[in-house]
């Protein structure tokens, strides 16, 4: 069984979460008939089925799941079979009420939803191992089994538990990480505010405190909570590997920064056999296709460029936002194909058939409440055929142009209290820099701070506040060897313990940027400052300013008003064979463009000024050639210049080197050799 998606399926994966336990068995026949009509070849089964398959402790009822898997297999549909450990049954919690997680305020959650788990709880860990073992023993050789799906979206809805069991577990974790209570005192700076500990047993989770709780303690607790969930994932994974060798194991990530901030996916990406991801559009007025592209790029990066799979998205509306608009005609296909452009080996949805009961009955599905005489169903069938035609791209990889350095731990640190401005948001910086790169049609690879960046002519560092020495050396080497670096304000300020690097800010980056920052001077809410730069270009910024002192860098834009009027705002520093830019204020994506344009010129990148910003152009390349995905998210048809003529996989035949892509349309062109 091949380890990478689509796991020996002959074409890209297409399907969704299949929860047949909601329906009488008579419905199942219709389900598989319609799945075949839509060309579904992979479904996720059993994610929330623990109560059905273990109705009483140690009593197993696999007959329904046997029939579901048999029916799927008979119809040529493979299963992504889940361990149901995100939803322990009611009987389990009656016996082990302390497996329900406790909030920071000391409130214990109740049964009645899902994902209410204290990951330190030993009864939970034992029960999860037991049900995983039973499933693996029963289905290891099942012909429908293509992939194991452990748990569901670790980190949501509960990021961390603060119970006494977790407190004890945390102390062990601290001992392993720091070695001694004195080392914890040093790392956390407990000399301040009289927080000194004389024994590890005195340390608690960062529960509700009257004032700001020690930030380094909070940061370590986030690391601990993340590591604890990962321990549980690895325990299940190891059982599955042992009992069902050769079947890849995944757990569905939620890499969208707007949807999950609780787990460090750099670490998780190393533990799964293949990366899978769930993505839902957040309709808050921002350009949803940009956030989708960013999530897909981040997912591919977490997979270290290896094939990944979109395991969930929606055919139309979700039901968990305050307002849940339906997708517009064609939007679902654009969404799915954009994920595939950026490396997914198919597209799956939550869920196959729309629920009639429970918490998600107003969430869209592949087979909607409206039935088959509906726009959604017709688009689902059409997309199934289109995705089947993409088989040739399976052996290719997405080509990235530039790198963005991202780090979950640095993000966590910036969200803690006691920072210079509540208006600064590391995720917003990542979003805006990404959006500016997207609008220049540059495909992004995300990299952890210590990764080798030498393959990328341009590297962007949006607000990497927490930066250790190794990361700083890495960036310095990158520039010295000829790279072009763009760094946002509030980068390189503290080490991994949230301790400020010695000397003037930004301690880790002073040399590479050729400057120091004497003082931060964030702006009042809503206030703006103006910048003036080359050829009189004026930019407008907000949130943040600071007193930059050039020490080798040249000033390219300077402040013309605000608290540091006349001072440097955007600088450029030549170092070795490369260049390092610094942006000391918050420029929104359009205002970042002139800066990135100049940096792209330093980096020798093609500026693609000819294309409207809402036209997405992404290349997938392999030994058999190059496929260009062109997705027009705009309202007007666009003529797009390609590197040469080719053939459109979506049935539009031969194309010249300047095909017209209709408004809302997609072209996937295999370039001629």
Q: Which residue is nearest to ligand GAL (CB)?
A: 350
Q: Rounded CA gap, 557 and 571, in Å? A: 7
Kindly state the tokens that stand for 313: 């998205």
Q: Which helix (H) or strand (E) holds 291?
A: helix 288-302
| Closer of 280 and 478 to ligand GAL (Cβ) | 280
Residues 54, 236, 312, 331: which is the catalytic one?
Answer: 312
Q: Which C-beta is closer to ligand GAL: that of 296 or that of 494?
A: 296
- Closest by Cα among 321, 359, 286, 345 to 622: 345
Which positions ≥6 away from 516 have C-beta within 8 Å? 503, 504, 505, 506, 510, 548, 549, 551
CB 262 → ligand GAL: shortest distance, Å?
13
Token digits of residue 301: 């990066």
- DSSP structure class, residue 353: B
The nearest distance, CB 320 to ligand GAL, in angstroms, is 6
CB of 315 to ligand GAL, least distance (A): 11
Using CB under 6 A as the binding rule, whether residue 116 contacts ligand GAL is answered as no
Can you give the C-alpha Rg of the chain in angstroms?
26
Closer Cβ to ligand GAL, 44 or 488, answer by number: 44
Q: How far is the CB of 335 from ligand GAL (least distance, A)?
A: 13
Q: Give the whole-angstrom CA distance, residue 340 versus residue 628.
A: 11
Structure tokens at 194: 């009289």
C-beta closer to ligand GAL: residue 152 or 190: 152
Q: Known catalytic residue: 428?
A: no
14 touches ligand GAL (CB under 6 A): no
C-beta of 80: minimal distance to ligand GAL in Å? 13
Residue 312 annotated as catalytic = yes
347 lines the binding site for ligand GAL (CB under 6 A): no
Residue 318 beta carbon to ligand GAL: minimum distance, rounded to whole angstroms: 5
Contact present, 357 and 22 (Cβ < 8 Å):
yes
Assess 312 for contact with ligand GAL (CB under 6 A). yes
How near is the Cβ of 153 to ligand GAL at its closest, in Å?
A: 5
Taking the least distance from each CB to ligand GAL, the nearer of 188 and 280 is 280
The nearer residue to ligand GAL, 86 or 100, going by C-beta atoms, is 86
| Alpha-carbon gap, residue 293 to 590, rounded angstroms | 18
Interaction of residue 278 with ligand GAL, rule CB under 6 A: yes
- Smallest gap from residue 316 Cβ to ligand GAL (A): 11
CB 628 within 8 A of CB 671: yes
**Which tokens in the block code for residue 221?**
């607790």
Listed residue (331, 337, 299) closest to 316, CA to CA: 331
Interface with ligand GAL, residue 85, by CB under 6 A: no
Does the footprint of ligand GAL cover residue 318 (CB under 6 A)? yes
Given the residues 54, 153, 435, 616, the one annotated as active site: 153
Q: Which CB atom, from 154 or from 456, has the smaller least distance to ligand GAL?
A: 154
Establish if 18 lies at the interface with ligand GAL (CB under 6 A).
no
Q: Report the C-alpha gap between 396 and 399 in whole angstroms.
A: 9
CA dist., res. 389 & res. 397, Å (int): 17
Contacts of 69 (CB under 8 A, 6+ apart): 45, 79, 81, 139, 142, 144, 145
In the stretch 633-672, what mask flags binding to ligand GAL with x, by CB under 6 A?
A: ----------------------------------------
What x/- string results for residues 150 through 189 when contact with ligand GAL is judged by CB under 6 A?
--xx------------------------------------
Strand order in the sheet with 666-671: 397-398, 615-622, 625-632, 666-671, 646-648, 653-655
The sign one gets for the Cα dihedral 575, 433, 259, 543 is: positive
d(CA 213, CA 418): 10
Spatial CA neighbour of 328 closest among 276, 375, 265:
375
Q: Which is nearer to ligand GAL, 42 or 216 (CB)?
A: 42
Task: Rule CB under 6 A: say whether 350 interacts with ligand GAL.
Answer: yes
Say whether residue 279 binds ligand GAL (CB under 6 A): no
Range 201-240, binding ligand GAL (CB under 6 A): none
Q: Residue 371 CA to chain centroid, in angstroms?
A: 33
Looking at 538-669, list the stretches that DSSP marks H as alpha helix, in order from N- to C-terminal side.
589-603
Identity of the residue, 360 or 672, whose beta carbon is nearer to ligand GAL in the bound complex: 360
Rounded Cα distance between 556 and 545, Å, is: 15
CA distance 621 to 638: 24
147 versus 509: smaller Cβ distance to ligand GAL: 147
Three-state secondary-structure class, residue 406 = coil
- Give the nearest distance from C-beta 254 to ligand GAL in angstroms: 6
List Cβ neighbours of 149 (8 Å cut-off, separation of 6 or more): 44, 47, 80, 81, 82, 83, 250, 251, 252, 276, 311
Q: Count of alpha carbons within 13 Å of 233, Cβ hemisphere only?
A: 28
d(CA 90, CA 97): 10
For ligand GAL, give the closer residue by CB, 82 or 136. Answer: 82
Minimum CB distance to ligand GAL, residue 48 (Å):
8
What is the per-residue binding string for ligand GAL in 355-374, x denoting contact by CB under 6 A? -----x--x-----------
614 binds ligand GAL (CB under 6 A): no
Number of residues binding to ligand GAL, judged by CB under 6 A: 9
Q: Restricting to residues 523-542, which ones interact with ligand GAL according to CB under 6 A?
A: none
Residue 430 token pair: 């990542």
Q: Closest distance between ligand GAL and the C-beta of residue 312, in Å?
A: 6
Nearer to ligand GAL among residue 153 and residue 602 (C-beta): 153
Site for ligand GAL in 445-474 (CB under 6 A): none
Is 117 one of the binding residues for ligand GAL (CB under 6 A)?
Answer: no
Distance CA 311, CA 349 (A): 7
Does 261 sit near ligand GAL (CB under 6 A)? no
For residue 280, state whether it binds ligand GAL (rule: CB under 6 A). Answer: yes
Q: To the nearest whole angstrom, how small is the minimum distance from the Cβ of residue 125 to ligand GAL?
A: 22
Question: Tokens representing 258?
Answer: 């707007």
Q: How far apart are CA 274 and CA 28, in angstroms?
A: 29
Supply φ then ψ for residue 68, to 5 degrees: -60, -50
Question: Is 149 among the residues that bind ligand GAL (CB under 6 A)?
Answer: no
Q: Which residues contact ligand GAL by CB under 6 A?
A: 152-153, 278, 280, 312, 318, 350, 360, 363
Query: Which residues carry out catalysis?
Result: 153, 312
């Amino acid at each position: 069984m091949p380890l990478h998606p689509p796991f020996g399926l002959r074409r890209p994966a297409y399907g969704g979460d299949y929860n047949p336990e909601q329906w009488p068995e008579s419905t199942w026949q219709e389900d598989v008939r319609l799945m075949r009509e839509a060309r579904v070849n992979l479904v996720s089964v059993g994610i929330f089925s623990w109560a059905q398959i273990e109705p009483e402790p140690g009593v197993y009822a696999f007959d329904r799941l046997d029939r579901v898997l048999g029916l799927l297999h008979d119809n040529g549909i493979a299963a992504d079979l889940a361990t149901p450990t995100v939803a322990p049954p009611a009987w389990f919690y009656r016996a082990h009420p302390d497996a329900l997680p406790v909030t920071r305020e000391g409130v214990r959650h109740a049964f009645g939803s899902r994902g209410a788990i204290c990951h330190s709880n030993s009864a939970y860990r034992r029960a999860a191992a037991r049900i995983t073992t039973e499933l693996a023993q029963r289905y290891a050789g099942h012909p429908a089994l293509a992939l194991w799906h452990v748990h569901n979206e670790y980190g949501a809805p509960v990021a961390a538990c603060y119970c006494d069991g977790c407190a004890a577990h945390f102390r062990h974790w601290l001992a392993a990480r720091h070695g001694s209570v004195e080392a914890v005192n040093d790392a956390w700076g407990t000399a301040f505010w009289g927080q000194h500990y004389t024994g590890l047993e005195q340390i608690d989770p960062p529960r509700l405190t009257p004032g700001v709780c020690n930030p380094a303690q909070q940061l370590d607790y986030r690391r601990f909570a993340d590591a604890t969930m990962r321990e549980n994932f690895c325990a299940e994974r190891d059982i599955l590997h042992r009992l069902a060798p050769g079947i890849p194991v995944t757990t569905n990530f939620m890499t969208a920064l707007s949807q999950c901030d609780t787990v460090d996916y750099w670490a998780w990406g190393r533990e799964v056999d293949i990366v899978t991801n769930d993505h839902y559009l957040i309709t808050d007025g921002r350009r949803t296709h940009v956030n989708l592209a960013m999530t897909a790029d981040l997912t591919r990066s977490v997979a270290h460029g290896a094939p990944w799979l979109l395991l969930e998205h929606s055919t139309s509306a979700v039901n968990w936002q305050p307002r849940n608009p339906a997708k517009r005609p064609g939007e679902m296909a654009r969404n799915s194909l954009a994920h595939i452009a950026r490396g997914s080996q198919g597209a799956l949805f939550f869920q196959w058939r729309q629920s009639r009961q429970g918490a998600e009955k107003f969430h869209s599905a592949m087979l909607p409440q409206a039935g088959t005489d509906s726009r959604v169903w017709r688009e689902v069938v059409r997309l199934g055929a289109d995705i089947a035609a993409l088989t040739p791209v399976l052996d290719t990889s997405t080509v990235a142009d530039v790198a963005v350095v991202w780090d979950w731990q640095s993000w966590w640190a910036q969200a803690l209290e006691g920072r210079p401005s509540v208006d600064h948001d590391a995720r917003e910086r990542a979003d805006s820099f990404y959006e500016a790169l997207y609008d220049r049609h540059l495909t992004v690879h995300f990299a952890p701070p210590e990764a080798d960046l030498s393959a990328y002519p341009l590297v962007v560092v949006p607000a990497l506040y927490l930066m250790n020495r190794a990361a700083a050396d890495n960036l310095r080497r990158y520039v010295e060897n000829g790279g072009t670096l763009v760094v946002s304000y509030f980068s390189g300020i503290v080490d991994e313990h949230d301790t400020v690097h010695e000397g003037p800010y930004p301690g880790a980056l002073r040399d590479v940027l050729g400057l120091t920052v004497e003082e931060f001077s964030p702006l009042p809410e809503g206030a703006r400052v103006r910048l003036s730069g080359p050829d009189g270009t004026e930019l407008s910024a907000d949130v943040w300013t600071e007193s930059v002192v050039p020490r080798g860098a040249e000033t390219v834009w300077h402040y013309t008003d605000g608290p540091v009027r006349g001072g440097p705002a955007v600088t450029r520093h030549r170092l070795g064979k490369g260049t390092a830019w610094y942006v000391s204020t918050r420029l929104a994506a359009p205002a970042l463009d002139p800066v990135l344009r100049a940096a792209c010129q330093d980096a020798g990148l093609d500026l693609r000024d000819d294309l409207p910003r809402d036209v997405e152009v992404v290349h997938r390349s392999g030994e058999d050639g190059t496929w260009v995905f062109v997705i027009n998210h705009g309202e007007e048809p666009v003529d797009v210049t390609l590197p040469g003529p080719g053939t459109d996989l979506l049935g539009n035949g031969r194309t010249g080197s300047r095909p017209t892509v209709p408004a809302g349309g997609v072209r996937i062109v295999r370039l001629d050799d």
